[in-house]
Amino acid sequence: MPRRAFLGTAIAWGAGSVAASARGGEPLAARLPDAMTTPGGADLPYGQPSVQERKVVRHEHQDAGFSVWRSPLENQRGIITPSGLHFAVHHSGVPDIAESGHALMIHGLVTQALRFDLERLKRYPMVSRIHFLECAGNSAANALSPFALNQTLGELAGEVSCSEWTGVPLSYLLQEAGVKDSARWVVAEGADAASHTRSLPLDALLKDAMVALYQNGERLRPSQGYPMRLFMPGWEGNVNVKWLHRLEVTDAPAYSKDESGLYTQALADGRIERFAFPMDVKSVITHPSGLQTLPDPKGFFEIAGLAWSGHGRIARVDVSVDGGASWVTAKLHDPVLDRAFTRFTLPWRWQGRKATLMSRATDEHGRVQPLRSEWKRRYAMHSFNHYNAVQSWRVGTDGRVENAYV
């Protein structure tokens, strides 16, 4: 259309609209949403989620006798868990520690004992790494319950999250202290009321550990160990000591109450697994998942989820929609990082019939996520730590999704 003709048509349309309003028709502004006709509210000094998302929160559980806050994984789409939704486990509450009075002591089998306050630590070179963190007891309900509990993914397996962690490589501090030849272990202690204590092998700490000061670009939150925590990528959450204040270099583990009791695995043949640090390869379908409902009786949907391994990168994820009778390889989305969440998806055409959805991850070292029956054959009936069996979701003809055992 020529420009003049177009402008003439637009003017005529506008005149017609005005005339319609003059004749008592509904004005155009009346058909606009409120957000386009009324100025919005003020912003906040620290940004908050939309009030429309107020139901997306962590939920506290006391099943183990202490406070456990689980991440709502069913709402997560990317690989980074928001700091406010990161899972947390507190054996004796969250201490209120001021940065100004806190320090880290390194002593024991070292040439010189050293004390690092926060101002001194912040002057050291730092690194940033994206890694998952998982509680050793994650998915305990599926390990222990004789029947599948009808719960959300977050309630069943929400003791795992993934963040960008920033801090000082522990190797810098240990090298400055001068580790003696007889040193083999490091005993880490937190400044909480329980003096939470774990022993870790020195060689592994020198390779991978950091004293984390930041999470997702901001200072650690109190529930994540403010003002500093030990962070060991891929290892069970309990060894990532929060509110870190002491590292003792030793020639043997301390066999503390935590590592000698709750965090020692009992095998089916009567033996035990002590110091089983890395978390094994695992995956979960985040949607559709427990207590969700497919919106249409049938049609095209996207099966999506997260996979991770404490031993390295995810190599592949296979998905089944028929209870494991057949498997299809899902798409892995970049970035596929070392010891971090990896997102996977698979298109699925649901025919409105009953279906059982499963995901099975394999890491770069060939470790494969086991079925629940396989995991149960290896461990004692009362064992639940390091549970990494395949998670199954049963979809009913009405579209409702629930936890299932296969």
CA dihedral 361, 362, 363, 368 (to 10 degrees): 110
Q: Is residue 79 part of a domain?
A: yes
Q: In this predicted model, what pLDDT tens digit does every residue of 280-334 receive, in sequence order?
A: 999 999 999 999 999 877 899 999 999 999 999 999 999 999 999 999 999 999 9
**Same-domain status, 314 and 220:** no
Q: Of 242, 273, 304, which residue sits at a domain end? A: 273
**pLDDT for 4 beyond 90:** no
Q: Is residue 49 part of a domain?
A: no
What pLDDT does 14 receive? 46
What pLDDT does 263 receive? 85
Q: Are the beta carbons of 208 and 149 closer than 8 angstroms? A: no
Q: What is the spatial distance between Cα 229 and Cα 89, in angstroms, rounded to a whole number?
A: 14
**pLDDT for 168 beyond 50:** yes
Q: Is residue 54 part of a domain?
A: no
Q: Is residue 8 part of a domain?
A: no
What pLDDT does 257 receive? 86
**pLDDT for 2 beyond 60:** no
**Same-domain status, 266 and 297:** no
Q: What is the spatial distance between Cα 194 and Cα 206, in angstroms, rounded to a whole number?
A: 26
Q: In this predicted model, what pLDDT tens digit does every residue of 357-383 receive, in sequence order?
A: 999 999 999 999 999 999 999 999 999
Q: What is the spatial distance between Cα 154 and Cα 270, in angstroms, rounded to a whole number?
A: 32
CA angle 286, 291, 293 (to 5 degrees): 85
CATH code, domain with 203: 3.90.420.10
The mean pLDDT of 173-188, rounded to a whole number, is 98
Domain around 290: 282-404
Using DSSP bridges, classify how beta strands 229-231 and 160-169 pair: parallel, antiparallel or unpaired: unpaired
What pLDDT does 21 receive? 45
Q: What percent of the chain has pLDDT over 90?
A: 83
**Same-domain status, 199 and 91:** yes
Q: In this predicted model, what pLDDT tens digit does every residue of 120-163 receive, in sequence order?
A: 999 999 999 999 999 999 999 999 999 999 999 999 999 999 99
What pLDDT does 26 receive? 75
CATH code, domain with 291: 2.60.40.650
Output the six-digit token pair for 291.
Answer: 């207590």
Q: What percent of the chain has pLDDT over 70?
A: 93
**Same-domain status, 292 and 400:** yes
CA angle 405, 56, 231 (to 5 degrees): 80
Q: What is the spatial distance between Cα 263 and Cα 253, in angstroms, rounded to a whole number?
A: 14
What pLDDT does 24 receive? 57
**Same-domain status, 262 and 290:** no
Q: Of 273, 302, 332, which residue sits at a domain end? A: 273
Please state the domain count of the chain: 2
Q: In this predicted model, what pLDDT tens digit does every residue of 219-259 receive, in sequence order?
A: 999 999 999 999 999 999 999 999 999 999 999 999 998 88
Backbone phi, then psi, for 36, in 5-degree steps? -95, -5
Output the six-digit token pair for 131.
Answer: 């890694």
**What's the start-to-end Cα distance of the chain, in Å?**
64
Q: Of 252, 273, 294, which residue sits at a domain end? A: 273
**Same-domain status, 267 and 289:** no
**pLDDT for 108 beyond 70:** yes
**Same-domain status, 65 and 197:** yes
Q: Is residue 37 part of a domain?
A: no
The mean pLDDT of 339-344, rounded to a whole number, is 98
Q: Are the beta carbons of 339 and 309 closer than 8 angstroms? A: yes
Instruction: Quote the pTM value.
Output: 0.91
Q: How confident is the model at residue 8 (pLDDT cuts 50, 70, 90)?
A: very low
What pLDDT does 62 receive? 84
**Same-domain status, 101 and 222:** yes
